[in-house]
Chain A
Amino acid sequence: MRGPGEAEPRPAEAGRVPPSARRTDTAGGPPAAAVTVTAEGPLPDRSYDIAIVGAGVVGCAIARRLARHPRPRIALVEAQDDVGQGTSKANTAILHTGFDAVPGTLEARLVREGSARLAAYAAESGIPVEPVGALLVAWDGEQLAALPRLARKAAANSCSDTRLLDRAELYAREPHLGPGALGALHIPGESVICPWTTTLAYATQAVRAGVDLHLNTMVERATWDGGHHLHTTRGTLRARHLVNAAGLGADILDHHLGRDDFGVRPRRGQLLVFDKFARPLVRHILLPVPTALGKGVLVAPTVYGNVLLGPTAEDLDDRRATGSTAEGIALLRERGRRVLPALIEEEVTAVYAGLRAATGQEDYRIAAHPERSCVTVGGIRSTGLTASLAIAEHVTALLTGTGLDLGPERDLEPVHMPNLGEAFPRPHQRPGLIAADPAYGTLVCHCERVSLGEIRDALAGPIPPRGADGLRRRTRARAGRCQGFYCGAAVRELLERRGRGERG
């Protein structure tokens, strides 16, 4: 078993444009691959064969898939300062089976295929997954009557291991469930996963295989003269082929490309994360019976050992409205109190809101536009994380269909991600690792038990965090109940010391 220290060794600098952003990364064995991750200064003056706009979980998965072909030069372009900063960071962190998808849709197929692919990839890459299963809980007679129909729909989505539970069996499985539940549909295949590690794993493999990642690069305009010119906040980037994975901005980028096939209407989902003391209260993902208004508010364990309550579903016009509201929090607490009354007695350790890219159609909006050498990957809703690897496969086939010859293909070096999950040993729980490097026994963030060694590794990784939020997603530092009361200043010191170029 490789330790995090081996998985993320300190890189040596290897000057190129801009000097600080070019890293030599020797993980994955020889030969040493040059990694290009930039976040400031003008974009490198080179033209790419393929540009992927949007480094969310879908964009990163596509970059990783295309990186299997060594020949094309690929750029992954992201407006924000880190991968997975949009919809990908603020979701319900569930690895779906697709049991409730609309049978026959593209989404249903890609979720089903993606689910199996991601489960295998997670096991191989050290991404924490807990196969807790889900219970679709009926709270009235009408919902109870709907369960057999949902079981048949699940079977139509190749999810045939669901089972109806009566009241007694439901409460035996979930003793802390609030009173009044009548029965449930058990979907054993549903899991919880770490969405941040997933996105970062894709991006890490992509950049190690030669994809250039350009952060802080917002596409403001795009023109076409037989090739694409992306006019960004950091200059112009040229590419022969384009993949639009811009998430909430996918319709705007499509408009620049001369396509107006759909409009994105952000749907805000607010979520509450409860203290780890709440984790023993719930064993499964607890889902409400879906209605025409959406999938409703769920209660789910997280792989970090917290409990998640959410999301709300609010249709908005503002694509930056990622704030929580008093009404949203009150609604979630009211719903949560009914499902799991003891949950509301525990402290909330985080409140966040994410925007899903709703398009007014109950399916993904993935289409190739061969006349413009581009593929649009739009309308990827809450299932995008689960489907990401299958979407990447699908998009690659579409790109080939636009006349792109990707050339030979190879297997990528596997990636081994640091474990953030509670179901697997964390570094401070591994005596051999601490004996080899005492930094893994030196805890900095006490609530989440994050060691100095993990923070050091994240700061030295191929795609280092550029702020406290990025470090939190990579290590969980400051993500606990004290939110930095104890460790905030010490964690910031480590970040800033790294920024000043100091070691240790």
Chain B
Amino acid sequence: MTAVRQVDVLVVGAGPAGLAAAARLAAARAGRVELLEREARPGGVPRHCAHRGFGTWPRTLTGPRYARLLTAEAERAGAVIRTRTTVLDWEAGAAFAPNVVLTVGPGGPEALAARAVVLATGARERPRAARLVPGTRPAGVYTTGELQQAVHLFGQHIGTRAVVVGARDVSYAAARTVRTAGAEVVALVTEHPRARTGRARARSARLVEGIPLLTDTAVVELLGHGRLSGVRVRHRDGRTAVLPCDTVVFTGDFVPDQELARRGALDLDPGTRGPAVHAGLHTSRPGVFAAGNLLHAVEPAGTAAREGARAAAAVLGHLSGAPWPRPGIPVTVERPLCHVTPNRIDPDRGRLGHPAGPPHLLRTDTPLPRPVLYVHQDGRLLHRARLGPGTARPHRALRLDGSWHGRVDPDGPEVRVSAG
């Protein structure tokens, strides 16, 4: 095996979270900061999001411009970005300080030791197979990620009639990409009773662009040999129909890309399926932090970038000798809430006199008209927060401040967040 090369901070994944973390760390003179990216270009998912809405409102950018901006900031600050470099695994048996990862790229394999590692490997959509959609295995079956790359990065032909599965923001973005590619959107199909996007967007798609929205409807079979010839849909009331199409796009249903986290035996949170993290985005493995959509699947790029910056601040503390937090008290949610991040409370936080942590992000599965969030530990109410009416909808993140962290019993059981 090759000799181990030493760096100070290794960031894995050059999407918004990784780029923001690397930029902040390099600017803070954190030593040698290397950002490893397995794709040929840095930028992550925004690279192939042609629509605007990235960056700071009202001067928002397209995804590719936003990706270039974040890349330039990281490079200007002095971070070393190495593309086409894949982190394969962690070196087995190594003591946690320092962590050693094994990489490969066109230049060959390399073992890299780092005083701190920031995982920012992002999220991906679950494809047709993972969703267990039956039928044949024809060509013309996409996820949004593949569709956007096909159209926006490679200019590939994607078919003439597409069904889009899902009615979330990403589904509408997929529909727009289908139309950009010159194809017709047959329908958006969602199992939910209504679209999970802003009202203006849903209305515009339906009325201006004329895209039908089939609610309470599931795609239950793919048809066709060689090329897709149609999808069978079933309404909640039992009616079925075949929508003739040559393309189907499975959108949304994002999951954290947690391969490296699992290989590194990091504790995962059952709600997010990403690594469990403390307020400073420390994971259960000393020296390893996690940020961005790896934590909670998909939130906007700006959220991911802010988490990258937050992880960078904690990395600086770690490099200057701050103790690693103990495993911590889990924070869990009750339905209809889906997950919460950060999802560990440092039991020593109160005793150490830390200020209140940054806010937690939550998602709800159903709209809550007059949302109140309750935080309990062992039946004891720690906190109650009333949110603005109409704010708790599935397509938006909810925020819960961390003012109650000091009231958590460090020896108590898990903390539960519920909605009323």
* A, B: real partners: yes
Using a CB–CB cutoff of 8 Å, the interface residues on chain A facing chain B are 273, 277, 320, 322-326, 328-329, 347-352, 428-429, 431, 434-435, 438-439, 441-443, 446-447, 449, 467-469, 481-486, 488-490, 492-493, 496
B84 near A: Cβ within 8 Å? Answer: yes
Is A326 in contact with B154, judged by CB distance below 8 angstroms?
no
Minimum distance in angstroms from B139 CB to a CB of chain A: 7
Instruction: Check A442/B84 contact, CB under 8 A, given A326-B134, A329-B134, A483-B129.
Output: yes
- Which residues from A are CB-within-8-Å of B223? 323
Q: Say if the beta carbon of B132 comes within 8 Å of chain A.
A: yes
**Nearest chain-A residue to B150 (Cβ)?**
A489
CA distance A350 to B137 in the complex (A): 10
Q: Is the CB of B130 within 8 A of A489?
A: no
Chain B residue, CB-CB nearest to A439: B106
Contact of A428 among B104, B126, B225 (CB under 8 A): B104
Chain A, residue nearest B131 (CB): A348
Q: A324 and B262: CB pair below 8 A?
A: no
Interface residues of B in 124-161 (CB under 8 A from A): 124-130, 132, 134-137, 139, 142-143, 145-146, 149-150, 153-154, 156
CB of A3 to closest CB in B, whole Å:
14
**B413 shortest CB reach to chain A, Å:** 24
19 intermolecular pairs with C-beta atoms under 8 Å apart? A322-B136, A322-B225, A326-B220, A348-B132, A428-B88, A438-B108, A441-B105, A441-B108, A446-B86, A449-B86, A482-B124, A482-B143, A482-B145, A483-B127, A483-B129, A488-B146, A488-B150, A489-B153, A493-B156
Say yes or no: B105 contacts A442, CB within 8 Å. yes
B221 CB-CB contact with A under 8 Å? yes
What are the residues of chain B within 8 A of A320 when measuring CB–CB? 225
User: C-beta contact mask, B393-408 vs A, less than 8 Å → 1, else 0?
Assistant: 0000000000000000
Q: Which residues of B contact A483 (CB under 8 A)?
A: 127-130, 143
Q: Complex: how many Å from CA A70 to CA B113?
A: 58
B264 beta carbon closer than 8 Å to chain A: no
- Contact between chains at A484 and B127 (CB < 8 Å): yes
Residues of B6-32 contacting chain A, CB below 8 A: none
Distance between Cα atoms of A443 and B127 in the complex (Å): 21
Whole-angstrom distance between the alpha carbons of A496 and B155 in the complex?
Answer: 12
Encode B207-227 as 1/0 by CB contact (under 8 A) with A.
Answer: 000000000000011110100
Q: Is the CB of B135 within 8 A of A348?
A: no
- Which partner residue on chain A sits nearest B263 by CB separation? A277
**Alpha-carbon distance A489/B157, docked complex (angstroms):** 11
- A323 x B135 contact (CB < 8 A): yes
Q: List the B side residues contacting A326 at CB < 8 Å.
A: 134, 220-221
- Tell me which of B134, B135, B221 has the highest count of chain A C-beta atoms within 10 A of its own C-beta: B134
Give B2's nearest chain A residue, CB to CB.
Answer: A431
User: By the criterion CB–CB under 8 Å, are A323 and B132 in contact?
Assistant: no
B109 near A438 (CB under 8 angstroms)?
no
Tell me the complex Cα distance, A395–B90, Å.
51
Question: Is the pair B126, A324 in contact by a Cβ cutoff of 8 Å?
Answer: no
Nearest 9 interchain pairs by C-beta: A483-B127, A438-B106, A489-B149, A488-B146, A489-B150, A485-B145, A323-B136, A324-B134, A485-B124
Contacting pair B125 A434 (CB below 8 A): no
B109 to A351, Cβ gap below 8 A? no
Whether B93 is near chain A, meaning CB under 8 Å from some CB there, is no
Structural contact, A467 and B139, CB atoms closer than 8 A = yes
For B225, the chain A residues whose CB sits under 8 A away are: 320, 322
Once the chains bind, are B137 and A443 in contact (CB under 8 Å)? Answer: no
CB distance from A347 to the nearest CB of B (A): 5
For B129, give its contact among A351, A435, A469 (CB under 8 Å).
A351
Interface residue tally for chain B (C-beta within 8 Å): 41
Q: For B150, list chain A residues within 8 Å (CB).
A: 488-489, 492
Residue ID in chain A nearest B124 by CB atoms: A485
**Contact check: which of B107, B125, B130, B220 meets A438 at CB < 8 Å?**
B107
Measured CB to CB, the closest approach of chain A to B145, in angstroms, equals 4
Q: B127–A482 contact, CB under 8 A?
A: yes
Q: How far is the CB of B64 from chain A (nearest CB, A)?
A: 15
- Alpha-carbon separation in the docked complex, A488 to B124 (Å): 13
Nearest chain A CB to B253 CB, angstrom units: 11
What's the nearest-Cβ distance from chain B to residue A404, in Å? 36
Tell me whether B154 and A493 are in contact (CB under 8 A).
yes
B65 at the interface (CB under 8 A from A): no
Complex-state Cα separation, A323 to B226, whole angstroms: 12
Complex CA–CA separation, A76 to B385 (angstroms):
73
1/0 per position for B242-257, CB-CB distance to A under 8 A?
Answer: 0000000000000000
A428 to B125: give the CA distance in the assembly, Å.
Answer: 26
B127 near A352: Cβ-Cβ < 8 Å: no
Residue pair B132, A329 in contact (C-beta under 8 Å): yes
Q: Please report the C-alpha to C-alpha distance between residue A447 and residue B146 in the assembled complex, in whole angstroms.
A: 14
Which chain B residue shows the least CB distance to A453?
B106
Closest CB-CB distance, A386 to chain B, in whole Å? 25
A87 CB → nearest B CB, Å = 15
* Docked complex: B375-390 residues within 8 A CB-CB of A: none
* Contacts known (A322-B136, A326-B220, A431-B109); A443 close to B86, Cβ less than 8 A: yes
Contacts of B106 in A (CB 8 A): 434, 438-439, 441-442
Whether, in the assembled complex, B306 has its beta carbon less than 8 Å from a beta carbon of chain A, the answer is no
Whether the pair A485, B143 counts as a contact (CB closer than 8 A) is: yes
Q: How far in angstroms is the closest Cβ of chain B from A218?
A: 13
A348 touches B109 (CB 8 A): no
CB of B135 within 8 A of CB of A485, answer: no
Given A482-B127, A483-B128, A484-B143, A446 contacting B38 (CB threshold 8 A) = yes
Residue of A nearest to B158 (CB): A489
CB-based nearest A residue for B105 = A441
Most buried by A among B39, B108, B150: B108
Instruction: Tell me, rounded to whole Å, the shortest Cβ–Cβ distance linking A292 to chain B.
Output: 27
Given pairs A349-B129, A485-B124, 12 additional interface contacts (CB within 8 A): A323-B221, A324-B135, A329-B132, A351-B129, A428-B104, A431-B2, A434-B107, A441-B108, A482-B145, A485-B125, A489-B146, A489-B149
Max chain A Cβ within 10 angstroms of own Cβ: one of B2, B84, B128, B146: B146
CA distance A82 to B406 in the complex (A): 65
Q: How far is the CA of A443 from the CA of B86 in the complex (A)?
A: 8
Beta-carbon nearest neighbor of B102 in chain A: A429
CA A220 – CA B198 in complex, angstroms? 56
Residue from the list A428, A449, A484 in contact with B146, Cβ < 8 A: A484
Residues of A near B222 (CB, < 8 A) are 323
Inter-subunit contact B128/A443 (CB<8 Å)? no
Minimal Cβ-Cβ distance residue in A for B234: A326
For A431, what are the chain B residues with a Cβ–Cβ distance below 8 Å? Answer: 2, 108-109
B residues less than 8 Å from A428 (CB atoms)? 86, 88, 104
> Contact string, B227-241, partner A, CB cutoff 8 A, digits 1/0?
000000000000000
Q: Do residues A277 and B262 form an inter-chain contact, with CB atoms below 8 A?
A: yes
Q: Is the CB of B130 within 8 A of A348?
A: yes
Cβ contacts under 8 Å, A322 to chain B:
136-137, 225
The reply to whether B104 and A434 form a contact with Cβ atoms under 8 Å apart is yes
